[in-house]
Structure 1
């Protein structure tokens, strides 16, 4: 984290996504040792890891996220976390770092869910007359349309606004997915709360960028660096190697002169010492 502070500045308004990943190969059945879980902060704009902490299991993300926040310089950023991290203490910790939060809401916060379902029934969502934004993506025979709406908190959220620090914006995202030649699937509805004054377009961008931590970090760790295939688990080795992979991934993504994926950059660095020196000089 200190190294990333020294060499990487996060710009105002940038999305920092926080999410966890279980290292599946780090368990040992014979020793009764469970797989470790790494919680990482990922800069969506630059594709680099800003910091990480280890937990014993996924359920401990609630206690790990505040520890991770202490390590980071988040002034002016928008911190996005999935429903596991939708907690009042975590929201307060983010604000204390000079950042804003965008939290996904699910059943672990029943009062918020009830307020959303009351304030935004399906007819109102479909015929919403406020700020709305639609995105449409087509890829590999699949089409996904997302409909985003945002609102200042309505009377249904009035009481909750005193519980959630600096709550300004509530948002609803309804997505439709259709495979080629098939009937569209039932729409998926997701709820969000934020301390930032977000437009529907900004909500769409931030919600999409949150998933970069899955698509650009976790996917690269598994496919390029084969993290889940690593069976090393003795002592702190699994955690240490996870940190080394994050550092290596940051270096490889930071090197822009060679136009290739992470696997090709790895191979080129292994075979060409001059290129390896270029990577390490990033």
Structure 2
């Protein structure tokens, strides 16, 4: 007997995905439209939940739907959308609007945790989207650290970079009051912290060589005299990692606005098959949170949780969905498919599922299961 992956139910009042997609703009001309936009997009999300990786696979999943399941999606069982139709529509959608609509829906299904929310901002290149005369598409995303749900994303086109997309990305999130935003060294920018202060958010930012003066100041602090504030270790992906955290108050002497504390994070790693070979990495970070606003364990958790977007989303898209070898390149297709994968991963994460590959197989065995997950039944 098959056993569903462990999970929890979404809040009973949460609307289904079909209702949420009603706010999505239809890029098609009205004449000749045979299939509702909400039905087609919802079907595509269901197919990705079931592990589909391409337009062809999504088309086959829709073609194989039992009549009753197709009707639940609002699809006429006798006239189903073809692969070509699915491809044309998905290549024409606005990926940022799609992500915003779905993020609003996911927020209604997120369980209340009672703790301060932390959002990780990070980018990812979709390597398979690279063509002969163009670079790979790059997407910047904001991820809820606790759930792994994608809250916002935006395309970083070839004429700009992640830095200029930071504020437009977070503008997609209605309320940042009291939120802790974590980001890598590329976003350690004065204009970014000014923006976050206006939004009422706090921040933890990594500092590296792109801010050489600031990095030198942090490295010169008397870390040898500072005791460890937090220490943790874990195993995963064939390696063991030991992390230690030291914290110093820096009310003066650091050339960066609103910086209240400095963090030294030291990570020692070794592969499990090479127990005597350790690699050590020392990382510096700054935060506007003062000692009375966050305990060392919280700071350590948020700093460590920043990498959750890598482990919970990027790694799954690369390994489980094989995104980097995807041949989808036309129109907004790469970004839209990334948004569909993010939606599937987020919806599964919100039910407590940790093994996305096993969840894909589970939902692929019964076409009703993806609909139940997305609140369509």
Do both proteins adopt the same fold according to a TM-score greater than 0.5, normalized to the shorter chain? Answer: yes
* 1:175 corresponds to: 267
Distance 1:243 1:178, change over 3 A: closer
Provide the residue aligned with 2:241 in structure 1: 144
Q: Which residue of 1 aligns with 2:196?
A: 94
Whole-angstrom CA distance in 2 between matches of 1:20 and 1:213: 9
Query: What is the 5 A alignment of 1:170-249?
Result: 170-179=262-271, 180-185=274-279, 187-197=280-290, 198-249=294-345
Residues 103 and 260 of structure 1: CA distance in aligned 2, closer, same or farther (over 3 Å) = closer
Structure 1 match to 2:60: none
Q: Does 1:66 align with 2:162?
A: no
Q: Secondary structure at the match of 2:178?
A: coil
- The 5-angstrom pairing of residues 85-164 of structure 1 reads 85-120=187-222, 125-129=223-227, 132-139=229-236, 142-153=239-250, 155-157=252-254, 160=255, 163-164=256-257
Q: CA RMSD, aligned part only? A: 2.4
TM-superposed CA distance for 1:141, in Å, is 6.8
Matches of 2:312 and 2:362, distance apart in 1: 20
What is the deviation of 1:139?
A: 4.9
Q: Secondary structure at the match of 1:205?
A: helix
The structure-2 alpha-carbon separation of the partners of 1:58 and 1:114, relative to structure 1 and needing over 3 Å to count, comes to: farther
Whole-Å separation in 2 of the counterparts to 1:141 and 1:24: 25
Residues 126, 324 of structure 2: 8 Å contact kept: yes
Judge conservation of contact 1:119–1:154 (CA < 8 Å) in 2: no
**In structure 1, the residue corresponding to 2:314 is in which secondary structure?**
helix
Tell me the equivalent position of 1:53: 154
For residue 92 of structure 1, report the CA deviation from its aligned partner.
1.6
Flag the structure with higher strand content. 1
Superposition TM-score, scaled by structure 1 size: 0.85
Structure 1 counterpart of 2:359: 265
Tell me, in whole angstroms, the C-alpha distance in 2 between the residues paired with 1:58 and 1:169.
35
CA apart distance, 1:172: 0.9
Residue 42 of structure 1 deviates from its aligned partner by 0.5
Higher relative contact order (CA 8 A, sep 6+): 2
In 1, Cα distance between the equivalents of 2:231 and 2:211? 27
- Structure 2 counterpart SS, 1:247: helix
**Structure 1 residue runs without a partner (length 5+):** none
Deviation at 1:246, TM superposition (A): 1.4
- Using the TM superposition, give the Cα deviation of residue 263 of structure 1 relative to its aligned residue in structure 2, in angstroms: 2.4
Whether contact under 8 Å (2:147, 2:346) holds in the other structure is no
Higher-Rg structure is: 2
Q: CA deviation at 1:222?
A: 1.3
Do the aligned residues in 2 keep the contact of 1:13 with 1:76 (CA within 8 Å)? yes
Give the SS at the match of 1:119.
Answer: coil
Is the 2:120–2:309 Cα contact (8 Å) retained in structure 1? yes
Q: Is the 8 A contact 2:251 2:259 kept in 1?
A: no
1:253-280 deviations in Å (ceiling 9; x for gaps): 2345xx6732232233333132122112
The answer on whether the counterparts of 1:150 and 1:199 sit within 8 Å (CA) in structure 2 is no
- Note the residue ranges of structure 2 that are not aligned, 5 or more in a row: 1-99
Q: 1:177 to 1:246 in 2, by over 3 A?
A: closer
Inter-partner Cα distance in structure 2 for 1:184 and 1:25: 33
CA contact (8 A) 1:16 1:41 kept: yes
Structure 1 residues 99 and 58, CA gap change in structure 2 (3 angstroms):
farther
